Structure 1
């Protein structure tokens, strides 16, 4: 049976809270940036679940012997923020994955064709086997940027089954493209909005996450 894309929208009150603050058009830049960072943290928390391998260990507590689990430090971790907006969520993701390498990827969308082009690529020449990769991409509307990212990652040896996307808002066109081309990837999103308008914006969405994060 062919794999089917799995999209998780955690029913978490903190995620809903910060998404609402991010959506409100009168939210000031510093608070918007805080909201994006918090979304990055809590969505990463959900994405880590049953994804990071652990090692069984024997330890001594102050009272006696016990067994436990530690995250397997031999498995490489990678965070791939898509610039610019991905930087706003990156800080939150890093609080939970402080040992992860960060590989920046800069993509810009042509506002007429809605096609994405890459202007900055700091990916490694080759990902190590078993690397767990977290793409930090706040908005997925038409799917152009995320598909371009996934192609760049897999060309450099990334296994789609070990890729998870940390996302604030997404829409059906992007999800359909990912399902067609990279169905093994898993997505952790705060919300799925149903509409993408002719300009490629998610409706109701939250506007331009990059502009609102950096006051530009």
Structure 2
């Protein structure tokens, strides 16, 4: 669908118990150039998510009968209109669910499990709203063997936490898939100031090297 719809790609993450539907957050997704459309990075949009698109997506979800459990919805912004691409009864993937739970400061996965056990959600989840996230995926640009790459690390500086996790081991050899199977590692950058987050990510990427031979 991304191939045929021009506009900014966003997600809306929701959790419901059949009575109450909570908006957990929304991400803006940056894709690689066509024709492959690989997710290169995601930014958590400031809370509350932007209008009128959020209300449009929620209305479409209700029309589809979506309201129980966690749901990951993708849509494209075209002017004042939100055009759905994907509605999936699952949490957002590629570690975005982990960072979202951490940043919201709530027991997200416990809420999900308790919902499926028949317990109602609270009217207010008590989630934080001041957090910002940038998910940066380091991708292979060719087939071959990964000869060098940084190890896992966690650092904090200037109010930004950087959590890097390798997704491919040194010495592994792979073809070029042109999908998220080409991810070499993921950098989770969190804080409350987007400019500082972006600067920290830029410093990390400039200071490290991923070599494929």
TM-score range, shorter chain: under 0.3
TM-score normalised by L of structure 2: 0.25
The structure whose residues are more often strand, as a share, is: 2
TM-score (norm 1): 0.25
**Counting helix residues as a fraction of each chain, which structure ranks higher?**
1
